[in-house]
Structure 1
């Protein structure tokens, strides 16, 4: 099997970063971090470019672009604008697919429009930007390669009640990224990292968090989704176990800059690491418990 991220990655001194979803939260923290480093260049994107007003307008090393990841035309326009702005030697060194929002609520009540829009944003948007980035990274003569960070979540490893389509989108991102990472040629020097933070202190309400219409069959206080909602609200209010967006931004920056192999998966925060570890330990026990049943498949064949 083709190895993933087999060699140490050295970020160029004049690295160009493209970040989606920079209007708030993790994306905004990353954009501010890169903008504070004069040796790097930044392409900051958001659905509404007015949401990027916190970045300066008079710095040629900072390009602010409107980008809707659900629109192939919008993505093509953004990449063309970036190439035009930075000139003939345009290269991409780091791409961070951060755009997305959470869809929570009772799965039975989710509409076709809600579910398709969630998958378009979380998965297909990430896939579109990733494939365009690969094209740029593999073709450049002097800056061949780069790092593509696809922002997943603890929700990309564990499934919780009341978030079925959010999980579906994040799990799709994880499978897609691992497959593409094994598809690219090692000589291209393109590295992939699936970032899996747990709770992050962001302004996740509003356009970054959507809810399905409540379903009467799931309204009881003993329903799993209602119980989880209470725990989540307590966690948000207390801040216990929640990461700061700046901490996520610094972790991503350090992975890109440390001159070592890029991890394919990066659980961020002690909560994410412990819960993902426990999940895999439990999965191994379950795998052992069905060993004899699994062997029956051979007999049936």
Structure 2
């Protein structure tokens, strides 16, 4: 199996960052952090560019409209960045952060809801990533770059009431790992899947879409309702919640520390502990089916 991220990555002093979903939360925190680095260049994007007014206006900061569900919008954003920064345009760091949660009774999800969720979480990430890879691959100085795909603990562990959100994040994880194994090591293109647990953002508000409830799933003892109650209790007390600023600092550290880029990074103690428990649980499940898996032969 082709290894990934085989060489240490060194962030250039004049690095150019492209970030999707900068209107709030993690994207806003990362954009704010990069804007504070005077030698770095920032391409901050959002569906509504007026939401980027918190960023200062200078030659190193480009604010663009970007709808990741639209190939035309992505093409326009990349061509605008090339025009703005001129012949010396390079792209060093890409952070695919745009997304929202679709939650509720899965059987009641509409075709439109499910397709838009996958378009945003998965296909949008894939479109931006492949466009960025072409630019990074053609860097004349072979400087490569890092593509951070923001997944979630939901890309490792599945919980009731969020089936299509999990589907999107699981898809991002598998797709990213596969693409990471396709690139030639000499291109210097690195991939990192970021897996935060709960983050103190506005995600629960405008970044969360709810499926219309189904009558058969409304009892308070249904798994999704029990989980939602538990999560709300934790959110109200701030238990296991990370700040967007801490996530931003962690991503910057991964890019700038001069070491090999890890393929996956659970962020937050809750994410790390639950990821570890998930993999340990899978080992137990493997042992339980060892006899079946061997088809009568010794494993």
TM-score for the superposition, normalised by structure 2: 0.98
Secondary structure in structure 1 of the residue aligned to 2:148? strand
Q: Deviations over 1:158-182 (max 9, x none)?
A: 0000000000000000000000000
Q: Over aligned residues, Cα RMSD in angstroms?
A: 1.1
Matches within 5 A, 1:51-200: 51-57=51-57, 59-142=58-141, 144-200=143-199
Deviation at 1:3, TM superposition (A): 1.1
Alignment partner, residue 41 of structure 1: 41
Q: Deviations over 1:207-226 (max 9, x none)?
A: 31100000111000110000
Secondary structure in structure 1 of the residue aligned to 2:203? coil
Contact 2:142 2:187 in 1 (8 A): no
Alignment partner, residue 251 of structure 2: 252
Contact 1:154 1:196 in 2 (8 A): yes
Deviation at 1:143, TM superposition (A): 5.1
Whole-angstrom CA distance in 2 between matches of 1:236 and 1:245 = 15
Secondary structure in structure 2 of the residue aligned to 1:213? coil
Say yes or no: does 1:288 pair with 2:287.
Answer: yes
TM-score for the superposition, normalised by structure 1: 0.97
Alignment partner, residue 261 of structure 1: 260
Q: Deviations over 1:52-85 (max 9, x none)?
A: 010112x000000000000000000000000000
Structure 2 residue runs without a partner (length 5+): none
Secondary structure in structure 1 of the residue aligned to 2:87? coil
Whole-angstrom CA distance in 2 between matches of 1:280 and 1:2 = 22
Secondary structure in structure 2 of the residue aligned to 1:207? coil
Structure 1 residue runs without a partner (length 5+): none
Contact 1:91 1:143 in 2 (8 A): no
Deviation at 1:206, TM superposition (A): 3.5
Secondary structure in structure 2 of the residue aligned to 1:88? helix
Whole-angstrom CA distance in 1 between matches of 2:141 and 2:7 = 18
Contact 2:155 2:169 in 1 (8 A): yes
Matched residue count: 298
**Could you list the runs of 4 or more consecutive aligned residues of structure 1 that deviate by over 4 angstroms after TM superposition?**
none
